[in-house]
Each structure stands twice: as C-alpha cells, then as structure tokens.
Amino acid sequence: MANYAELTTESFNKKTENIDKMSAIEIARIINEEDKKVAYAVEAALPKIAEAIDIMANSLKAGGHIYYCGAGTSGRLGVLDASECLPTYGVSEDTIVGLMAGGKEATYSSREYAEDDFDSIVSQMKASHFGIRDVLVAISASGSANCVKGAIKYARECGAYTVCVSCNPNSDLIEMVDIAIIAEVGPEVINGSTRMKAGTAQKMILNMLSTGAMIRFGRVRGNYMAYMVPNNAKLVDRALRMICQKTGCDRNTAALELAKANNCIADAMDAIEGK
C-alpha cells in the first residue's frame, strides 16, 4: 500500500483546525483565502500546460483523439470538460473523451472503489479503440490512483503520448508520463477533501488544455467560438452577433448566410467575407 500520509493532498491544514467552531462568514472567508492560492499554483505549471496543449493539438490534426481519465472528482472533471467541447467547438463526440473509473454510472454516483482497479479504465480504452495517434490525460489529485496508472501503462504500450494532471510534487505519475502537470495547492481546508482546491486547480488546467488545443486546432476565429453549435435561442442570437461583429454585416444578412451554411458560423463568416 502507498504511504498516503506523505501526500501533500492528504496533509493537515493548521489554519483550519478550528473550522468547526467558526461562523458562516468565517468559514466562507477562510475557504476563499485558501482558494486564492490555486491560481498561483496553476501559474507555476504553465510551461508544462503549454507543452501538453501543442501535443494535444498535433494529435487532433493527425486524426487522433484526446482521452481524459480519472476517478471521483478528478474523473468527473474530465467528463465535464470533454462533454462541453462538442457544443463549444463543433467537434464530434469522440474528439475529446472522458473516461470514468467505474464506468458512466460513476459520473453520477459514488464508485470510489473503482480507483483501486488497475484495469477499470483500460477496458474502456480498449472498447473505444485507443491508439497511437491519441493522447491520454490522466487526472489524479493525489497521483496515487491505480486506475490511472493502469491507463497510463496501456497508453504507453500503444505508443501514445501521456500527460498527467496532479497536485502532489511527489506524485507517482510524474515518472510514468511524457508531460507531468503538477499544481501544488497545499493541504485542503477539510483535510483530504480534494474536491476543493485540488479540484479547482484541475478544472482550471483542463479548461486551459482543451481551450488551447482547440485554438491551435483551428476551431476559433479571433476569440469567437466560430464552430459553436447554435441549437437554442441564446446561442442563435450569439451566433448572429458574432457574424455581424466579425464581418460588419447586418443581422438579416447574418441570419441568411447562417442558414445557407447549415448553421456553421465559420462558413457563414467566410461566405460574407468572400473567402
């Protein structure tokens, strides 16, 4: 068994040892003070994040896919980030895939035991035909989850690039992957509750990875979501405003060209600009 007591994410937070005696505003204030540390921890990891962005973008350009994997909060954050790429960037459902230890059911209800299962994620990777052109992003706050270790081992056997996102400077995953992204956020307000600062850091990093990769993959025009899927009233309005702002046309022209382009904002922009 790993020596979990040595993990930063399991360490004791002296500042919050009396939190159970605090008022509501004191609790909110101390959580906020601890959360302020997260952005600085992520900032220290920016060079590694940038490396991962380029590897992910190159994989997509070569016809590969991005796989996030993890257990508990880490896995759910991966599933969340993956699921939001389709509507935001107009990519297919299998472009960025979120795999959860314990399967899809673990996204909605606790399957914490699956974290210890070395093959829990591997079986899902095999079922979705993970291969050499793909990239695995293994997410584990502690860096000790057996499920992601198994996934990394399998990805390397396939010849694929591997990335980890962890919050422990002594993470087991560092030596296992091509790129190790480590955001050391320190002990949690509630000791060991990595859904807090560690989860916030992981969410920020995954936002950077997917957004950066999609930008480098060409799914953004300027800072416009030019491949967004406009499938409700708010998004249709946003699409029309984007076209008008980018091309200088009026709203009626934007609506006409968007319809002609089968709701592809980028194609409507190009048609108006004569590209």
Active site positions, annotated: 84, 115
Residue of 84, 90, 78 whose CA lies nearest to 205: 78
Q: For the stretch 10-38, what's the b/e string if a residue is b when 16 or more beta carbons lie within 10 angstroms of its beta carbon? A: beebeebeeeeeeeeeeeeebbeebeebb
CA–CA distance, 94 with 127 (Å, rounded to integer): 13
Local structure of 262: helix, strand or coil? coil
Give me the residue label for tokens 């899927």: 229
Q: CB-based contacts of 243: which residues, under 8 Å, 6+ apart?
A: 249, 254, 257, 258, 265, 268, 269, 272
Q: At what angle do helices 197-216 and 72-89 cross, to 10 degrees?
A: 30
Sheet strand arrangement including 179-182: 96-100, 66-70, 135-139, 161-166, 179-182
Q: At what angle do helices 197-216 and 24-44 cross, to 10 degrees?
A: 40
